[in-house]
Amino acid sequence: MSRGKSEIRISNIETNWSKIQNQEAMSHNENSKRYDLEERTFEFAKASRAFVKQLPRTISNIEDVKQFIRASGSIGANYIEANEAIGKKDFVMKIKICRREAKESRYWLRLIDTDGKLEGDRARLLDEADELMKIFGAIVRKSEQ
């Protein structure tokens, strides 16, 4: 009979442990910074890839999409590089590249033909690229002071 009680206790411990882990994950999500730039730039690149999968396959779109995808992914990659910068000059240079890639993403997004069906998605991506440009611009200004 004691063996059955042990199994029940272990089962209860495992259930409680799962509840604790779920609560910790939820509170971490609520408390974590909303504007974690590494995650935000990653999500922008992912959303960009999802957007282009829905586009009409025209010759101009194929070429413009290649440029857009490179630029959108480069934002986050350069931000990661900036966080590993050797010095302040290196950091500022990488952040400037992030800003430039966000501007380039906006440019290619505006050129892409959506057939009018994906204008809402494009507008959201343009807004996010604009926000990223502003954020990286502010980082550059504060870093150069």
Residue 145 has a pLDDT of 85
CATH topology assigned to domain 37-144: de novo design (two linked rop proteins) (1.20.1440)
Q: How far is 10 from 124, CA to CA, in rounded Å?
A: 49
Query: Over the stretch 113-139, which tens digit does the pLDDT of each residue have?
Result: 988 889 999 999 999 999 999 999 999
Quote the pTM value.
0.74
Residues contacting residue 35 through CB under 8 Å, at least 6 positions apart? 135
